[in-house]
Amino acid sequence: MTVLPFGPPVPHMLAKPVGAQVPAPDSVPGGLFYEPKWDGFRALIFRDTESVVIQPRRAEDLAYAFPEIVEQALAQLPPGTVVDGELVSMHDGRLWFEELGMRLRPRSEAGGWKIAELRLQYPASFVAFDLLASAGSDLRVEPNHVRREALAALAKGWRDPFYVSPATRDPHVATEWFTVFEGAGLDGLIARPSNAPYEPGKRTLLKVKHARTADVVVAGWRPYKNPGKDGQPVVGSLILGLYDDEGRLHHVGVASSFTEKRRRELVDELAPYELLDPADHPWGAWQGQARVPGMVSRWSGGKDLSWTPLRVELVAEVGFDHMEGDRFRHVAAFKHWRPDRDPASCTYAQLDRPVRFDVSQVLGG
Q: What is the DSSP letter of 12?
A: P
Of the candidates 16, 37, 202, 335, the residue annotated as catalytic is 37
DSSP codes of every residue in 183-250? GGT---EEEEETT----TTSEEEEEE---EEEEEEEEEEEE-SS--TTS---EEEEEEEEE-TTS-EE
DSSP secondary structure of 121-161: HS--EEEEEEEEEETTEE-TTS-HHHHHHHHHHHTTT--TT
Q: Which residues of 76-96 are buried (b: 16+ CB within 10 A; e: fewer)?
A: bbebbbbbbbbbbbbeeebbb
- Is residue 316 within 8 A of residue 336, CB to CB? The reply is yes
First to last CA, the chain: 38
Nearest to 249 by CA among 218, 221, 275: 218
Instruction: Compute CA 192 distance to the chain's CA centroid, rounded to the nearest angstrom.
Output: 19
SS3 17: strand
Tell me which H or E stretch contains 267: helix 260-270
Specify burial of residue 42 (Cβ count, 10 A radius: 0-12, 13-18, 19+): middle
> Is 209 one of the catalytic residues?
no
Active site residues: 37
